[in-house]
Chains A and B, each alone.
Chain A
Amino acid sequence: MEIDYLATVLLSSLSSASILLIATIGLAVVFGLMGVINLAHGEFLMIGAYTALTTTQWGVPYALSIPIAVVVTMTIGATVEILIISRLYGRLFDTMLATWGLSIAFYQLAVLIFGTVTPGIGMPRYSLRIGDYSLAGYPLLMIAVAALMALFVYALMTRTAYGRKARAAIQVPEMAQAIGIDSSRVNTLTFAIGCGLAGFAGAVLLPIVPATPSMGFAFVIKAFLTVVVAGPVTLTGSVLAAIGLGGGASITASFLTSVAGDAFFFLITALLLWLFPMGISATWRRKM
């Protein structure tokens, strides 16, 4: 049935977009609240995935391994912020280069520790039938997970003292300091939260995306492009950009090839940046 097929494609594209959003949101938080792009974001995703994988192999239930992955990546993120990022405030390109070096170092460490091939964990076996087509249930669940993550970040930024401080610190840093906000502590927390979200993404996507040392590189292309297309209003912007770009690429990929989907993604990004050189949200009035 044609309608069934369309529904299937739409639903699976929405789930692809959600997976992209899950992988992107930590990057968007760091970019939105610190103004830097963490080029090691993909590797934090990878660390999260490996943490979840290793703990499940030790016998910990999968559901419990996800918070462990978050704690581990947050700890590493905070350490990295204190040791490296905090020394480079105001030096945008240097920060990017340093996180890039970090990304390669993490990648090589993962190769050393885990080797290049690792077993995946089984995907929970339930599925959804639409007419003659059947869709795996777990990827569809990601739609809800992505929505929850976005809500969580929104609540964190608007309903907590930390969120208000962080947003103040990025908008007018001098003023924030003048009223007593310790922006370096706020930044440490922001970076840790961004890395924790990446770790969560790696762990929760583990049944779909098996852990490999190079998985970060595959994810970051789309995550980076999503964030720069989104622009300064990171949360709303990222949600829109992820749905538009991720969904579009997935639809292209299902009608053509996955390579065409990737190329589509890059070209549309270039086009969007041509039209909105500072991101689609650069002229918006809302700030979240």
Chain B
Amino acid sequence: MTFSEKLYRSAGLVFPIVVTVAALGAAGVIDPYLAYVATSWIIFGLLGLSLDIVWGRGGLLSLGQTAFYGLGGYFGSVVAINLGPVTGNTLIWSLPAGAFFGALCAAALGWIIFFARMGPLQSTILSYTLTLLLWSLTQSFQLDVGTASIGGDNGLSNIPGMVLGFGEKAETLGPVAVFVATILIAAMVYLLTRALMTSTFGRVVDCIRIDAQKAELLGYDVRLYQVANFAYAGAVAGLAGALFGAWANYLNPSIFSVQEALLVPIYVLVGGLGTLAGAFVGAIAIGGLSYWLGGGAVGGQTTLILGIALIFLVLFLKNGILGAVGDLWRRSLPDANAAARDADAVAIDPEVLEGLLKDAALQAGPAKSLATRDAFKRFGGVVPVNNVSRIFEPGRPSSLIGPNGAGKSSYLKTCVGIYTPEAGSILLADDDDITRAPIFQRVRRGMGVKNQKPQVFGALTVFDNLWTAAYARTRNKTGATEISEKVMGMLGFTNQAAVQASVLSHGQQQWLDIGMVLCLAPRVILLDEPAAGMTSEETRELSSLVRILARYTTVIVVEHDMEFVRTLEGHVTVLHQGEVFAEGDIDGLRANDRVLDIYLGRRAHV
């Protein structure tokens, strides 16, 4: 690996540290007034960082980050006013209090949004209306807490400045010292955030943004991750608010105003969405620009200019400054995705596979049967699953076939939990009723699912895709690495380990998706049209894979490809209009006139 590549990989760590050190060095020589103003840019950078966590990483455009910023600021400042005199030091009160309150409020809103599984639009609007509501409520909100007095639109004054020393003699920091302290706090928050976002938590959050359903199909409780991420961002915003209170010594309801809220996505877009450091770049760029332009002809019209700037940013500059620089830099590096072009053909080695499956049986227990009793699902007047009672057992593969619209995929989705049945029950291993269990619970209890469309995390590498799946079950990094390496070797992806999943061909993505399911060591495997998009050679390999799988687990396959179903040599169920129409082995069904009728539409049938 060249120096440039190494630097590129750790750019998020190296450059911020260099800039921090440079800024600390510059603090000794810059004008105190500039230091005072620049402090606010860094605080806004923290606020932008909180949006980048939620939006760039979590995938939810929150227009409510200033709400948590303001709430954290008010709460932290009230605590500092009352308790600051006790210790002399103010920051040990205001910062934790602000972060805590911001996190609490964000967790409350996040709980409603994510546990209700609200749509993206609903979530954004709810976060925006919270900000607008706070803006109007705080105009008349008056409350005295100890010596602090919140006076509606008169605001909250007498907020103590930053005091780092302890005891009665501790003095309030001057502008340059405040600048230095703010830089250090911001650098610590940034490094903590980066550590979190490069950890497995951040990996899962990324996966949820890319494909929330797949993340849940791996057994992750996506709602908890989303709420935790949202609450963490709320804590960052609240901490920034508390810093702002200590910097300005005064807060008023304009902190909740639309003009204030508008700035936050601008910072993030200017700097680069999802880059974390971009929020600071954006805040400093915008702050610096208005500092040097301010007072001139455009000084009074900042709001107008920013509004128009947001439109232009959205229209023309999607990647932001850091995104654009990163793109340019990446072009000069060797292409990691080049290996995708010389992928080997998949060749399933039965011994490796059986070894994997035996290990899985040791860790996860014996195969489980899957049964539905009178499962019933209705969409308006259409009944795609009409009182289906079936039991699937290990030993040999079970196939579901039927003409288009027979209800095969709907039945599978009802088993998986994507659809909730209106009546009937679904049982795992005879006695475990999972009818109402959310998807991730079913997966944790042993269900492995591959949907019709290959679901892979395109931005992640092949290895990371498999690793994320393995980690969902093992919760152990070395264990996950071991399993994912085995599966990767078996699927012939070893040379493509560092390739992004999105550049793989459709058939390769199918294999990767199947590989992710294998990493989960499922006790029941549901495959929806796994052979779609595969070459005839690949289909043969798939057939041998499925047959071996069925010896160790329960396997249910939905397929259109009759030749493939025949090679499985398993039990076949024919669905028609949501009901079980016939069953048996494929040769028997091929001779069945009623089955031929519904497939070919030869004559009227019941």
Q: Check B310 against A98 for contact (C-beta < 8 Å).
A: yes
User: Given known contacts A101-B308, A273-B116, is B314 in contact with A266 (CB within 8 Å)?
Assistant: no
Tell me, yes or no, whether B311 is within 8 Å of chain A by CB.
yes
Q: Check B314 against A88 for contact (C-beta < 8 Å).
A: yes
Tell me, yes or no, whether A220 is within 8 Å of chain B by CB.
yes
Q: Check B308 against A273 for contact (C-beta < 8 Å).
A: no
Residues of A80-98 contacting chain B, CB below 8 A:
84, 87-88, 92-94, 96-98
Stretch at the interface among A13-21, A120-128, A188-196, A274-282: A274-282
Map CB proximity to A onto B511-553 as digits: 1 under 8 Å, 0 otherwise.
0000000000000000000000000000000000000000000
Q: Check A108 against B133 for contact (C-beta < 8 Å).
A: no
A-chain residues with CB within 8 Å of residue B318 when the two chains form the complex:
94
Chain A interface size, under 10 / 10 to 19 / 20 to 34 / 35 or more: 35 or more
- Which residue of chain A is the closest to B136 with respect to CB atoms? A262
Residues of A237-288 contacting chain B, CB below 8 A:
259, 262-263, 266, 269-270, 273-275, 277-279, 285
The 8 Å CB contact of A108, one of B119, B129, B301, is: B301
Map CB proximity to A onto B110-143 as digits: 1 under 8 Å, 0 otherwise.
0010011111111011101110110111001000
Tell me, yes or no, whether A161 is within 8 Å of chain B by CB.
no
Q: Report the minimal beta-carbon distance from A144 to chain B, rounded to whole angstroms.
A: 29
Tell me, yes or no, whether B22 is within 8 Å of chain A by CB.
no
A-chain residues with CB within 8 Å of residue B362 when the two chains form the complex:
none
Stretch at the interface among A50-58, A131-139, A170-178, A221-229: A221-229
Q: Check A101 against B122 for contact (C-beta < 8 Å).
A: no
Q: Report the minimal beta-carbon distance from B127 to chain A, rounded to whole angstroms.
A: 11
Q: Check A217 against B61 for contact (C-beta < 8 Å).
A: no
A-chain residues with CB within 8 Å of residue B116 when the two chains form the complex:
273-275, 277
Q: Report the minimal beta-carbon distance from A81 to chain B, rounded to whole angstroms.
A: 13
Tell me, yes or no, whether A10 is within 8 Å of chain B by CB.
no
- Which residue of chain B is the closest to A97 with respect to CB atoms? B314
B-chain residues with CB within 8 Å of residue A84 when the two chains form the complex:
311, 315
Tell me, in angstroms, the Cα distance from A96 to B133 when the chains sit together.
Answer: 19
B-chain residues with CB within 8 Å of residue A262 when the two chains form the complex:
133, 136-137
User: Given known contacts A228-B121, A270-B112, is B126 in contact with A104 (CB within 8 Å)?
Assistant: no
Tell me, yes or no, whether A63 is within 8 Å of chain B by CB.
no
Tell me, in angstroms, the Cα distance from A259 to B301 when the chains sit together.
Answer: 32
User: Given known contacts A98-B310, A100-B310, A105-B304, is B315 in contact with A224 (CB within 8 Å)?
Assistant: no
The 8 Å CB contact of A97, one of B118, B310, B380, is: B310
Tell me, yes or no, whether B265 is within 8 Å of chain A by CB.
yes
Tell me, yes or no, whether A102 is within 8 Å of chain B by CB.
yes
Map CB proximity to A onto B89-122 as digits: 1 under 8 Å, 0 otherwise.
0000000000000000000000010011111111
Q: Check A103 against B307 for contact (C-beta < 8 Å).
A: yes
Tell me, yes or no, whether B303 is within 8 Å of chain A by CB.
yes
Tell me, in angstroms, the Cα distance from A102 to B258 when the chains sit together.
Answer: 12
Tell me, in angstroms, the Cα distance from A46 to B132 when the chains sit together.
Answer: 17
Q: Report the minimal beta-carbon distance from A74 to chain B, rounded to whole angstroms.
A: 20
- Which residue of chain A is the closest to B261 with respect to CB atoms? A100
Tell me, yes or no, whether A107 is within 8 Å of chain B by CB.
yes
Tell me, yes or no, whether A109 is within 8 Å of chain B by CB.
yes
Residues of A16-48 contacting chain B, CB below 8 A:
37, 39
The 8 Å CB contact of B258, one of A104, A112, A266, is: A104
The 8 Å CB contact of A104, one of B132, B137, B303, is: B303
Tell me, yes or no, whether A218 is within 8 Å of chain B by CB.
yes
Q: Check A105 against B307 for contact (C-beta < 8 Å).
A: yes
Tell me, yes or no, whether B437 is within 8 Å of chain A by CB.
no
Which label, helix, strand, loop or mixed, suits the secondary structure of the A interface?
helix
The 8 Å CB contact of A228, one of B125, B308, B315, B380, is: B125
Tell me, in angstroms, the Cα distance from A103 to B121 when the chains sit together.
Answer: 18
Tell me, yes or no, whether B562 is within 8 Å of chain A by CB.
no
Q: Check A263 against B133 for contact (C-beta < 8 Å).
A: yes
Tell me, in angstroms, the Cα distance from A227 to B126 when the chains sit together.
Answer: 11
Residues of B72-100 contacting chain A, CB below 8 A:
none
A-chain residues with CB within 8 Å of residue B269 when the two chains form the complex:
97
User: Given known contacts A37-B121, A96-B61, is B126 in contact with A269 (CB within 8 Å)?
Assistant: yes
- Which residue of chain B is the closest to A265 with respect to CB atoms? B133
Map CB proximity to A onto B241-270 as digits: 1 under 8 Å, 0 otherwise.
000000000000000001100100100010
- Which residue of chain A is the closest to B312 with respect to CB atoms? A101
A-chain residues with CB within 8 Å of residue B303 when the two chains form the complex:
104-105, 107-108
Tell me, yes or no, whether B14 is within 8 Å of chain A by CB.
no
B-chain residues with CB within 8 Å of residue A273 when the two chains form the complex:
112, 116, 118, 122, 126
Tell me, in angstroms, the Cα distance from A227 to B265 when the chains sit together.
Answer: 23
A-chain residues with CB within 8 Å of residue B133 when the two chains form the complex:
221, 262-263, 266
Q: Check A266 against B129 for contact (C-beta < 8 Å).
A: yes
Q: Check B307 against A98 for contact (C-beta < 8 Å).
A: no
B-chain residues with CB within 8 Å of residue A101 when the two chains form the complex:
262, 306-311, 314
Q: Check A285 against B61 for contact (C-beta < 8 Å).
A: no
Q: Report the minimal beta-carbon distance from A69 to chain B, rounded to whole angstroms.
A: 22
Q: Report the minimal beta-carbon distance from A147 to chain B, rounded to whole angstroms.
A: 26
Tell me, in angstroms, the Cα distance from A107 to B305 when the chains sit together.
Answer: 12
A-chain residues with CB within 8 Å of residue B304 when the two chains form the complex:
104-105, 108-109, 112
- Which residue of chain A is the closest to B308 with respect to CB atoms? A105
- Which residue of chain A is the closest to B63 with respect to CB atoms? A100
The 8 Å CB contact of A218, one of B124, B125, B136, B380, is: B136
Tell me, in angstroms, the Cα distance from A60 to B329 when the chains sit together.
Answer: 62
Residues of B342-395 contacting chain A, CB below 8 A:
380-381
Tell me, in angstroms, the Cα distance from A275 to B306 when the chains sit together.
Answer: 37
B-chain residues with CB within 8 Å of residue A94 when the two chains form the complex:
314, 318
Q: Check B136 against A225 for contact (C-beta < 8 Å).
A: no
Tell me, in angstroms, the Cα distance from A270 to B137 when the chains sit together.
Answer: 17
B-chain residues with CB within 8 Å of residue A266 when the two chains form the complex:
129-130, 133
B-chain residues with CB within 8 Å of residue A269 when the two chains form the complex:
126, 129
Q: Report the minimal beta-carbon distance from A23 to chain B, rounded to whole angstroms.
A: 14
Q: Check B307 against A93 for contact (C-beta < 8 Å).
A: no
B-chain residues with CB within 8 Å of residue A225 when the two chains form the complex:
125-126, 129
A-chain residues with CB within 8 Å of residue B121 when the two chains form the complex:
37, 92, 228
Q: Check B120 against A92 for contact (C-beta < 8 Å).
A: yes
Tell me, in angstroms, the Cα distance from A87 to B318 when the chains sit together.
Answer: 13
Q: Check B126 against A228 for contact (C-beta < 8 Å).
A: yes
B-chain residues with CB within 8 Å of residue A270 when the two chains form the complex:
112, 126
Q: Check B126 against A277 for contact (C-beta < 8 Å).
A: no
Q: Check B124 against A220 for contact (C-beta < 8 Å).
A: no
Residues of B266-314 contacting chain A, CB below 8 A:
269, 301, 303-304, 306-311, 314
Tell me, in angstroms, the Cα distance from A4 to B171 when the chains sit together.
Answer: 65
The 8 Å CB contact of A96, one of B122, B124, B130, B258, is: B124
A-chain residues with CB within 8 Å of residue B307 when the two chains form the complex:
101-108
A-chain residues with CB within 8 Å of residue B381 when the two chains form the complex:
285
Residues of A176-227 contacting chain B, CB below 8 A:
217-218, 220-221, 224-225, 227
- Which residue of chain B is the closest to A80 with respect to CB atoms? B311
What 7 new A-B contacts, CB under 8 Å, besides A37-B125, A107-B307, A108-B304? A96-B61, A100-B262, A101-B307, A104-B303, A104-B310, A108-B307, A109-B304
Name the 5 nearest CB pairs between A and B, nearest first. Answer: A101-B310, A105-B307, A104-B307, A108-B304, A277-B118
Can you report 20 A-B residue pairs in the complex whose CB atoms are below 8 A from each other?
Answer: A37-B124, A88-B315, A92-B121, A93-B120, A96-B61, A96-B124, A100-B265, A101-B308, A103-B307, A104-B304, A104-B307, A217-B135, A224-B128, A224-B129, A259-B136, A259-B137, A263-B133, A266-B133, A273-B118, A285-B381
A-side residues, CB < 8 A to B, are: 37, 39, 84, 87-88, 92-94, 96-98, 100-109, 112, 217-218, 220-221, 224-225, 227-228, 259, 262-263, 266, 269-270, 273-275, 277-279, 285
